[in-house]
Structure 1
Amino acid sequence: MRMISWEEMRAVDANCQYLGLLPLQLMENAGAAIAREIIASSPGKRVAIIAGRGNNGGDAFAAARHLSGFEVTIYLLGRARDISTEEAKRNWEILEHLHWDLREVRCSEELKLDGCDLIVDGIFGTGVKGRVAGLEAEAIDAINLAGKKVLSVDIPSGQGTEKVVRADYVVTFHRPKPDLGECVIVADIGIPPEAELFVGPGDLGLMGKRSRESHKGDSGRVLVIGGGPYTGAPALTALAALRAGADIVTVAAPAEAARVISCFSPNLIVRELSSDHLTPHDLPVLKDLIPAHDVVVMGMGLGRHPDTGDALASIIPLAEKAVIDADALLPGLPLKGIITPHAGEFQRLSGLSLADMDWRERMEPLKGYARERKVIVLLKGKVDLITDGELIRANTTGNPGMTVGGTGDVLAGIAAAFYARTSALRAANAAAFVNGRAGDLAYAERGFGMLATDLVEKIPLAMRPEGEELRK
């Protein structure tokens, strides 16, 4: 079974909720799974549950109800009024209505552990950082000194700090997690495979948050290399990158195109190149620009002049992080980072036709190509597919109105902005979701009259992880 990181698990939880699988349902399933392991281990009939005020404690509350025939005492560290999530509070209230033995603990001396056979540790989940202090630290010490068998819920409380529960075994959920040791039981809590296949708001959470101490440029510098016969495409990419959170976006474009693009928005920095198309003569300028940016996104509106292909062959290897789109997707050119073809461009690159395949049939050929070329492929389609050659994800946001020109250029800009902040695969996953979601928001207002510029304006709203009204 593939291991999953804690932050990826939080993303899966968020995507479950987006798909309609509520946290309360998962908490109930988690509680039942914990209870099954307690019953199977036959530790004795007296169980002490020591719970914190978050969802880890809520899982333990749910477990209590499934322990018919056991003598269960639930110790809550703190006051019930301070339980921090609706799901945990709901499970505590159910136990109150059932008249279970519930005790609000203010000091560790109130934990009576001598007479129990098993301690269930539900104090902390994965969000603990720094030093554990106060009542929770005292409770961890009491558990460790009790000399009883200990079951931890999902993770030993305090793991990663200097104060951690010494668990005999851990019941973790859905998939194995890092650093849990050998005595781990992985419990199925009803998370469907689709919650890991389809991208969603949880993938936005993997982008991280901007620090209050951030300075200009810390959230990404993006260089757009595009334009020549077309001017709108690189401008859309650049504006999308800004709306997706990049701090600085520079457009390097052939001379006439650069002059047009500079009129699109005062927010864009535009560097004029030498000719009416990208040529190898532009390499000295680009060699200075590329190291000053975190990500280079290229191909939009470049055209197919032979000089342009020669220039791209030299430019692509210079970029540490690259997003390659449109006219830069040429056979024989080096590839790296993220490539964003539609089915026709993918056939041109790979020689593989996907035209008669549905999206599920496309998965294996796509994975094989990504693995062979060592790139992230974001294949645009009715259902977008994103793969690094091992994992594959699918995106279902978007609508037929997005066949209007320019939406792919917007996607490239979003992907570049995200790639400045995270890995290529995570950036591509989140970009596909946000681009389609922005399209859905634009379609709700404009219908089939929507334009690519409408998508650009909807990107900030599409990036908000919360809000049921943003669902398709």
Structure 2
Amino acid sequence: MDSITWEEMKVIDANCAQLGLLPIQLMENAGSSISKIIRDRFSGGRILLIAGRGNNGGDAFVAARHLCEHPQFQVDVILLGNVSSIRTEEAKRNFLLLQYCKINSIKQVTDSGDAVLSEMISNADIIVDGILGTGITGKIREPEASAIDLINMSGKYIIAIDLPSGNQDKKTKQSKCIKADLTITFHKMKEELSTSSVSDYLGEVRVEGIGVCSHAEIFTGIGNLKSLNLRTPDSHKGQAGRILIIGGGAYSGAPALAALATLRTGADIVTVAAPSTVADTIASFSPNLIVRCLSENRLCSEDIPLITKLVDAHDVVVMGMGLGNDEEVVETVSRIIPLCNKLVLDADALPGLEEAEKKCSEIVITPHAREFARIRKKETSIDIERRIEEVRTYSRENNLVTLLKGKVDVISDGSKVMLNATGNSGMSVGGTGDVLAGITGALLATNPPMKAAACAAYINGAAGDLAFNDKGYGLLATDVISKITDVMRE
């Protein structure tokens, strides 16, 4: 069965909202599906829906509204907390709607000693658990803790929304978790539900579709950006990434553009290692750049000792922009690759990947179609479905992440595939690929390679779209860099 993580589901939810499928619509679909499953399984009875203050509670409120329209069911609702403490607007709106429905009783319980809680649990035939959502850690607070205990002791049929409420304390190896007879999860099976610590509490598991847009899962969107690990309020210099750019020789602008894009994406420190003939020019682009001068007019083997020290002092290496394709450059690149832990390879550095005797642990490559054809020694397909398979296969065989640039970017780690549709034809101007490499390097410092590459493609294209709105076909790569922070603030 195809499965995703809870984090991926949150990304999909946010991407759906960006496309226009609002959270309240998904909540309606989830609650409606819960109601239908109950109606299909039971001929009648007294149903108690116990809801928390998050979106799991919202799903329960919707289910209650649908169920109470069927006279064979007597529906009661308990909110653990009060209406003012409901955390999302969607859940609050659905709770307030219940007063206009044929609900038998609606109670707000804030005290674990409230007799209403135990009395209503005792009187129920079926209990629906909508108390807690995902990501619960630490000790369960009251009144949720008492509710979980009372539900487990009730002997009633228990249906859990998304997952049984509670957690397993890894330190004490103790758990406080509802033991469900049926767990209803949405869209796809969640990988976390298959873990041994959870599986004993699930009972039967049903996966219900809720009308998620396929585009929201396949294409990058704002949800992917929200999942990024970025600078925290208490971070200090270096924690958001030290990035080494190795480029220049044949050209000076390319590594400077990559470096500036890296800084705008949030990296703390960016160092450019460039041949002596272009180092001063690169330094003149911005006082924010640290430039280390290499030995000659092209990257060469004599630079390896200095580059080794620089690699050790940085978290990520971004290499290839403006190097030129001399034979010695390619050979030197192939010797640098094994020195790196995290690496972004672009443009002139890509041939060095084939020559390298050993590869580092985390590699992202950012070729366009012609460069991809060159390193594969096969033409890159125009057809998007075939192109997807080409990227997936190459990434799997070489144990890396490929970000194939195009009208639709294709990103794969050899297993998962993401697409990106941001960007425009104005970005065919020189330098935008260098900007993309820089963004990727900054994100790779604090994120897994697949996430870094997919989000970099989105940010680069979205920044290009904002720049195009201002400049039209006169946009420059520097205009794209200036819009990166606007996209990141989304």
- Short-chain TM bin: over 0.9
Task: Output the CA distance in 2 between the equivalents of 1:338 and 1:428.
Answer: 7
Matched position secondary structure for 2:36: helix
Per-residue deviation, 1:150: 1.1
Kept in 2, the 8 Å contact 1:18–1:200? The answer is yes
Q: CA RMSD for the aligned pairs?
A: 1.6
What corresponds to 1:353 in structure 2? 379
Unaligned runs of 5+ in 2: 170-174
Counterpart of 1:174 (choices 167, 178, 187) is 187
What corresponds to 1:394 in structure 2? 419
Kept in 1, the 8 Å contact 2:230–2:446? The answer is no
Matched position secondary structure for 1:240: helix
What corresponds to 1:79 in structure 2? 82
Q: What pairs up with 1:190-339 in 2 under 5 angstroms? A: 190-330=211-351, 332-334=354-356, 337-339=363-365
Counterpart of 2:369 (choices 343, 349, 371) is 343
Task: Output the CA distance in 2 between the equivalents of 1:148 and 1:360.
Answer: 50
Q: TM-score, normalised by structure 1?
A: 0.95
Counterpart of 1:126 (choices 121, 134, 141) is 134
Per-residue deviation, 1:3: 2.1
Per-residue deviation, 1:209: 4.2
Per-residue deviation, 1:183: 2.5
Per mean C-alpha deviation after superposition, the further-off stretch among 175-184 and 280-289 is 175-184
Per-residue deviation, 1:99: 4.7
- Alignment: residue pair count: 464
Matched position secondary structure for 1:361: helix
Matched position secondary structure for 1:17: helix
The residue identity in structure 2 corresponding to 1:231 is S
Kept in 2, the 8 Å contact 1:43–1:118? The answer is no
Per-residue deviation, 1:208: 2.4
Task: Output the CA distance in 2 between the equivalents of 1:110 and 1:217.
Answer: 54
Task: Output the CA distance in 1 between the equivalents of 2:424 and 2:267.
Answer: 26
Per-residue deviation, 1:66: 2.3
Query: In the alignment, does 2:445 pair up with 1:439?
Result: no
Counterpart of 2:108 (choices 87, 104, 109) is 104
Matched position secondary structure for 2:485: helix
The residue identity in structure 2 corresponding to 1:106 is T
Task: Output the CA distance in 1 between the equivalents of 2:43 and 2:163.
Answer: 20
Task: Output the CA distance in 2 between the equivalents of 1:114 and 1:139.
Answer: 12
Matched position secondary structure for 1:297: strand
Task: Output the CA distance in 1 between the equivalents of 2:488 and 2:232.
Answer: 17
The residue identity in structure 2 corresponding to 1:26 is L
Q: TM-score, normalised by structure 2?
A: 0.91
Query: In the alignment, does 2:393 pair up with 1:380?
Result: no
Kept in 1, the 8 Å contact 2:299–2:323? The answer is yes
Task: Output the CA distance in 2 between the equivalents of 1:401 and 1:29.
Answer: 40
What corresponds to 2:153 in structure 1? 145
Matched position secondary structure for 2:176: coil
What corresponds to 1:469 in structure 2? none
The residue identity in structure 2 corresponding to 1:5 is T
Task: Output the CA distance in 2 between the equivalents of 1:160 and 1:24.
Answer: 30
Per-residue deviation, 1:14: 0.9
The residue identity in structure 2 corresponding to 1:110 is V
Counterpart of 2:207 (choices 182, 186, 198) is 186
Task: Output the CA distance in 1 between the equivalents of 2:102 and 2:85.
Answer: 20
Kept in 1, the 8 Å contact 2:65–2:101? The answer is no
Matched position secondary structure for 2:438: helix
Identity of aligned residues (%): 51
Kept in 2, the 8 Å contact 1:51–1:57? The answer is yes
What corresponds to 1:468 in structure 2? none
Per mean C-alpha deviation after superposition, the further-off stretch among 92-101 and 281-290 is 92-101
The residue identity in structure 2 corresponding to 1:29 is N
Residues 133-172 of structure 1 show CA distances to partners (whole Å, capped at 9, x for unaligned) of: 1222222222122221211110111234543222222111
